[in-house]
Amino acid sequence: MRFDIISVLPELLESPLNHSIMKRAKDKGLLEVHLHHLRDYATGKHKQVDDYQFGGGAGMVMKPEPIAACLDKLLSERHYDEVIYTTPDGERLEQQRCNRLSMKENVIILCGHYKGIDERIREKYITLEISIGDYVLSGGELAAAVLVDSIGRLIPGVLNDETSALFDSFQDDLLAPPVYTRPAEWEGMKVPDVLLSGHEKMIDEWRHDQSMERTKARRPDLWEKFEKGS
Ligand code: 6GU
């Protein structure tokens, strides 16, 4: 899968996408991330990428021309399945969306900044607008990193244990159960006996019960969804 990310601050994306699982995915040739500096597509002496908003009001707006120049170049080179814009007024990102996006081939992510982008860019190019939650970030780069990570890890072959993503929190509308490692007793606290029993069926049942208890207690909204679905 290939991501092309357009940003005024591509430096923000370099470190988070070059370690751990994302690095392994790239090294294996399963994931490509190409960063595009929006300023490279700006013209004029000052390479201006933002401007005052019509109608007045505080905050700058990203100009349409540099964004269009960058998008036109990319779109002329290959087919893209989605052109995503990261913005707090987008659709909230959820696991189902990540699952579906992980089956795409080529995706562009345009990172919002300042007061946002000129509305006409949204109308002409954007196929999907994504927010990563109900709070405001100073730019869309961290949201883009969240998108690439949450989608990239789902590409077949990226995770070591192919089945492990299936048991992530949210995959079945339940939170993940608690996990333990050695030592079996630490500071007087013991690992639940069932996990040491070697009894696979009982362990599965215990984990499922714990997932349900956790979801009920912590996320009544998810619990309702789970009960309706099961
Ligand atoms: Cl995608 N962008 C910004 N700037 N803030 C956000 C967001 C995106 N998602 C949640 N908050």
Domain ranges of the chain: 2-152, 169-229
Task: Tell whether the model's pLDDT for residue 160 goes beyond 90.
Answer: no
Average pLDDT over residues 133-137: 96
Q: Do domains 2-152 and 169-229 have the same CATH topology?
A: no
Would you state the pLDDT for residue 122? 98
Q: Which position has the token pair 């700006």?
A: 42
What number is the average pLDDT over the span 209-228?
A: 96
Query: Hey, what CATH topology would domain 2-152 get?
Result: Alpha/beta knot (3.40.1280)
Q: Is 132 in the pocket of ligand 1 (CB under 6 A)?
A: yes
Q: Give the residue, by CA position, lying nearest to ligand 1 atom 3.
A: 137
Residue 163, pLDDT above cutoff 70: no
* CA pair distance 53, 47, nearest whole angstrom: 18
Mean pLDDT calculated for residue range 22-29: 95
* CATH homologous superfamily of 169-229: tRNA(m1g37)methyltransferase, domain 2 (1.10.1270.20)
* pLDDT value of residue 114: 80
Query: How far is residue 178 from each of residues 158, 181, 195, 208, 209, measured CA to CA in Å?
Result: 24, 11, 11, 10, 11
For 171, phi and psi rounded to 5 degrees?
A: -60, -30
Query: Does the bond joining 183 to the residue before it have cis omega, within 30 degrees of 0?
Result: yes
| pLDDT tens figures, 41-97 | 999 999 999 999 999 999 999 999 999 999 999 999 999 999 999 999 999 999 999
Average predicted confidence (pLDDT) for the chain: 95
pLDDT, one tens digit per residue, over 184-198 is 999 999 999 999 999
Mutate to test the pocket of ligand 1, among 7, 122, 137 (most ligand atoms within 8 A of CB): 137
Instruction: Please state the pTM of the whole predicted model.
Output: 0.95
Please check whether residue 17 is in contact with residue 148, taking contact to mean a CB–CB distance below 8 angstroms: yes
With a 6 Å cutoff on the Cβ, whether 89 touches ligand 1 is no
pLDDT of residue 166: 74
